[in-house]
Structure formats: C-alpha cells, structure tokens
Amino acid sequence: MSVTAFIGTLAAICTTVAFVPQIVKLRKQGGEDLSYPMLFLYLAGVLLWLVYGLMIHAAAVIWANAIATFLITICIALKATPPKKLGRSPKRLRIAVDMDEVIADAFPKHLSRYNEVTGSKLTKEMVAQHGLRASIPEDKWEIFQAIAHEKGFFADLAVIEGSQAALAVLSQQHDIFIASAAMDVPYSFDDKFDWLEKHFPLVPPSRIVFCGDKHILNADVLIDDRSRHFKQFQGTGILFTAPHNASENAPLRANNWKEVLQILLDGRTKAVPAKQAAKALSMNPVES
Ligand SMILES: [Mg+2]
C-alpha cells in the first residue's frame, strides 16, 4: 500500500469510527443534546460521498461512507427513542420543600392557640370552606398573626404524616432542599433548624435554605402550601393542601405525601380539583 493510500485509509477509519463513542454515549444518556439538523446534514454529506465514491470507483470512499451512513442512522434512531426505552435513569431533580404545613404541622397548633387566646371555636374545616382571612374577624387578625411570633412556637410542631418516609424515598433519586420563608418570623431560625435536625436528619445543613421570596430558588420543583411562591418560580410548583388553600385551584396539587410521590415518581400531572382537597382535609381528625 502506498503512503497516500495508507493515509487515506487511516483518515477514513478515524472519521467513520468517530461515531462509535457517540453511539455509546447516546445509549447511556439519551440524545437531548444532539441536534437533528446536524445529524441529517451529516447524513446527506456521507450519502453524497458514497455516491461520489461509487461514481469514481474509489473503494475506501465507498466503504467508509457506507459504514458512516449506517452509524449516523443508528444515532438518529437512538435520539428518536424515548429515554425510558434506553434504560436511561430519570433526571435527578432539585426539589425544594417548604416547612410549615408541608412537613411541619403548624396550623393545628396555630388554631389551637388562637382559640385558647380569643375563646373562639374556629376549626380547620371552617377555614377550608371560607378561607383564612374570612374566618377571622378583623379585630382578631393581629392576634392570629402574633401567635407565630410567640417564642418557641416552631420548636415542637408535629411532623406531617408521611413526609419523613416520602423524603427518604425521594432523596434516593433526587436532591432535596428544605426552603422555608423563615424571614416572615426571623426569631424562628434556631427552632426550625433544631426541628429539622431532630426530624429530618437526612437533610444536611447545607441543604437548608431560610429565605424571603422563594422565586430566588433555582430548583426544578417547589412543594409549598402558599401558591404565591409559585408566581415567579422558574420550576414546577406543587401546591400542598392545607386548610387555607383548600378552595384554590392549582395546576398541580397534592393532598398528602402519597400524592407527592405519585406526581414525582409516577408522573401524575392531572390537577386535583379544589373540592377534593377540601374533602381530603375533612377526612383528617379535627384539631382545634
Ligand atoms: Mg408553608
């Protein structure tokens, strides 16, 4: 073989085999980052080279471009195949989880203290039916708000049912962050931090975010009972049902942690109607 033919053959092998590592990567990670225009232009190019090789009877040009055509076709097929069929692991999501009314059961204590201080008989069903603001007389609104500012209010809250187990499951596939709008009650930092350390040791301090406006969060998912946090949030908001939001219509709502898992692990995206949220609340024991 002449030097010229050797160099030509080596070049043909290199440019043709170059697609093999790409195919391996496609099988592992899917083809989201690969562009169809590039693939089809490349395919057109190698097909034209193949025709050219046939016309001039150049063996190296023919076999190199025939193999390249085959490999590029495989690339296009793999890119077009849904990731699940490739056995690709789902994307690791960054999930931000609110505290109060999502993992920490603050409302029953809040309601109980309010009834104790004012002599009222407000129930969570009343709040779910009429809304929080309409359920509390104007002259008692400040009293209600002040309760969360009482020293130690957040220290001994009960854990929302199913939240520990659900976050343990989710943390195996996704990155969990706790995001609390703790600036609403700045004195709550220590109590909330201690509470998380006690009940959610799987969340390291580096993944606890005490903030003001949550739209600053760079997360894929935010699970929160306050829909106002979803307004400028760039990811997907899941409204976690609480008495004060039971009558709201939300694109994506979870009445409990089982439903959060259905959304995040099974891909349920159908919205739960607000009336179902109120019904779900009424099935829980009333604490007032
Ligand atoms: Mg909350």
Establish if 105 belongs to a structural domain: yes
Is residue 288 assigned to a domain?
no
* Whole-number pLDDT of residue 5: 78
In a domain, 98, yes or no: yes
Query: Who's near 215: CB < 8 A, 6+ residues apart?
Result: 229, 231, 232, 233, 234
Sheet holding 208-210, edge to edge: 208-210, 175-180, 94-97, 221-224, 236-240, 253-254
The reply to whether 212 and 231 lie within a common domain is: yes
Q: What's the CA gap between 24 and 27, in Å, rounded?
A: 5
Q: How many domains does the chain have?
A: 2
Question: Same structural domain for residues 154 and 57?
Answer: no
Yes or no: say if 267 and 82 are a contact pair by the CB < 8 Å rule.
no
pLDDT for the residue numbered 85: 47
Q: Which of 33, 98, 105, 213 is catalytic?
A: 98
Do 246 and 274 share a structural domain?
A: yes
Q: Compute, in angstroms, the gap from residue 227 CA to the centroid of ligand 1.
A: 10
pLDDT band at 26 (very low <50, low <70, confident <90, very high): confident
The domain boundary residue, chosen from 27, 51, 86: 86
CB proximity list for 126: less than 8 A, separation 6 or greater: 135
Tell me the residue range of the domain where 207 lies: 94-282
How many Cα atoms within 13 Å fall on the side-chain side of residue 126? 12
Q: List CB-based neighbours of ion ligand 1 within 5 Å.
A: 98, 100-101, 225
Query: Is residue 278 a contact partner of residue 247, using CB atoms and an 8 Å limit?
Result: yes
In a domain, 38, yes or no: yes
User: Which has the minimum average pLDDT: 34-43, 205-214, 256-265, 277-286?
Assistant: 277-286
Residue 194 bears catalytic tag: no
- 11 and 122 part of one domain: no
Both 81 and 167 in a single domain?
no
Task: Please identify, among 68, 86, 104, the residue that sits at the C-terminal boundary of a domain.
Answer: 86
- 98 carries an active-site annotation: yes
pLDDT, tens digit, 9 for 90 and up, residues 145-177: 999 999 999 999 999 999 999 999 999 989 999
Domain boundary among 86, 107, 140: 86
Reported as a pLDDT band with limits 50, 70 and 90, residue 278 is: low
> Do strands 175-180 and 94-97 pair parallel, antiparallel, or not at all (unpaired)?
parallel
Residues 191 and 180 sit within 8 Å (Cβ to Cβ): no
What is the whole-number distance in angstroms between the Cα of residue 158 and the centre of ligand 1? 14
CATH number of residue 58's parent domain: 1.20.1280.290
Residue 287 lies in a domain: no
What is the Å distance from ligand 1's center to 92 Cα? 24
Distance (angstroms) between ligand 1 centre and the Cα of 244 equals 10
Q: How confident is the model at residue 135 (pLDDT cuts 50, 70, 90)?
A: very high
Query: Does residue 55 lie in a domain region?
Result: yes
Distance from Cα 224 to the centre of ligand 1, integer Å: 6
Clarify whether residues 61 and 107 are in a common domain: no
**Distance (Å) from CA 273 to ligand 1 centroid:** 20
Q: Does 206 have pLDDT greater than 80?
A: yes
Residues 109 and 60 placed together within one structural domain of the fold: no
Both 133 and 169 in one domain: the answer is yes
79 and 34 share one domain: yes
Shared domain for 81 and 99, answered yes or no, is no
Nearest Cα residue to 106 out of 147, 166, 151: 147
Q: Which residue has the higher pLDDT, 9 or 32?
A: 9
Q: Which of 33, 100, 191, 220 is catalytic?
A: 100
Structure token digits, residue 123: 């129930």
Is the predicted pLDDT of residue 86 greater than 70, yes or no?
no
Please tell me the predicted confidence (pLDDT) of residue 273: 55
Say yes or no to pLDDT of 25 above 60.
yes
Q: What's the confidence (pLDDT) of residue 284?
A: 46
For residue 102, the CA-to-ligand 1 centroid distance in Å is 6
User: Quick check: is 201 in a domain?
Assistant: yes
What type of residue is 252? L
Same domain, 164 and 137: yes
Q: Which whole number is the average pLDDT over 50-77?
A: 90
- Are 231 and 263 members of one domain? yes
